[in-house]
Amino acid sequence: MSVDQLTVQQLKIFLAVYKHKSASLAAAELGVTNSTVSRALAAARSVFDDVLFVRTANGFVPTNKAHELASPTSDIVSILRKIDTRYTRFLPATCTGSIEIRAYDEFNYAVQRVIQTRIQPLAPRMHFHVSALTYDCVNELLNGTVDYAVVYEGFNDNRLNFECFSQTGDIFLLCRKGHPLLSGDFSASDLSCYPLVEIDNYRDNSSPLLVDICHEVGSNMCVRAYTESVASAFQLIASSDSVAVICNQFTLRFANTVTGLDYIKLPTPILTRIRKLRSAVKPIGNYIAYGHTNQSPVFQWVLRQLVDGLAEDWKLALQANSKEIHPKS
């Protein structure tokens, strides 16, 4: 077998195994079966007369020849991708591969809805892995291991691209039904009398905004809990006098389905101060972050579908929540 008989897919599989040191992870990235990976490696081993990867308890270890082949193979695949981008027709139905998405818990369900109702009907051969963003994934976005992150404006790095899919409007205080603060206007000092449950999204805010605002007026607000889980936050709030700040229409839509929860628009002085604090980095809103590594037609198409789909769902949630908010005001 000669090098002329290797396919582009087999070259991509070689690079994916080289990157992940795992056949199963390579298969997941490219949206192929493990047997397809095995056949591709067998073909490459035959052509290059080398085992290329040695299986160990810690994964596949590349041989010296595999290390030598990685750079020129990457160059070849990159050139072919550029040709594909410029000169071939893009058809979502023929697209394969796997997309990695990280999202704050407040966005997770909305992202899944967009994938299932908007993207996969048009691109059924693509695979999507959406997991909660609970760690610093900037380097993974930069190197392309993670394709997109769905975040707030506080997640920031000037090496990344950001596309806003919705702006934040009103901001609300979430609490249990019958909470004393639901009875009318309240000040930051009044707010400090109740413990805070902070929905603590990674890289969102360096400290809780309500704590800072209460501190500015000489009051101390204690934090009952930090959690990345919206469901956990809801349970803590429904069973106590704790409160939380909510500015996400998807989260409000979820809150409307939970017995025992209520919310009220924050008074103008507190709302204005939060807006000023949150807009220090960039305009308050909801963003998709991504790197520069992957600019293929598939990547750009998926990005567009996510942006448009999340923007549309945000408007639907806003309309639904407005009907719920009216009786509370």
Measured N-to-C along each axis, helices 105-114 and 297-325 cross at an angle, to the nearest 10 degrees, of 110
pLDDT of amino acid 65:
96
DSSP lists the bridge partners of residue 99 as: 128
pLDDT tens readout for residues 148-174:
999 998 888 899 999 999 998 889 999
Instruction: Enter the pTM of the model.
Output: 0.74
Q: Once rounded to an integer, what is the mean pLDDT over residues 30-52?
A: 91
Average pLDDT, the chain: 90
- Rounded to whole angstroms, the Cα distance separating 45 from 117 reads 41
pLDDT tens readout for residues 233-260:
999 999 999 999 999 999 999 999 999 9
pLDDT tens readout for residues 10-32:
999 999 999 989 998 888 777 78
pLDDT tens readout for residues 94-128:
888 889 999 999 999 999 999 999 999 999 999 99
Q: Once rounded to an integer, what is the mean pLDDT over residues 310-327?
A: 82
Burial of 195 (0-12, 13-18, 19+ CB in 10 A): middle
pLDDT of amino acid 326:
42
Longest alpha-carbon distance in the chain: 79
Indicate the SS3 state at residue 204.
coil
- Rounded to whole angstroms, the Cα distance separating 325 from 260 reads 15
pLDDT of amino acid 230:
95
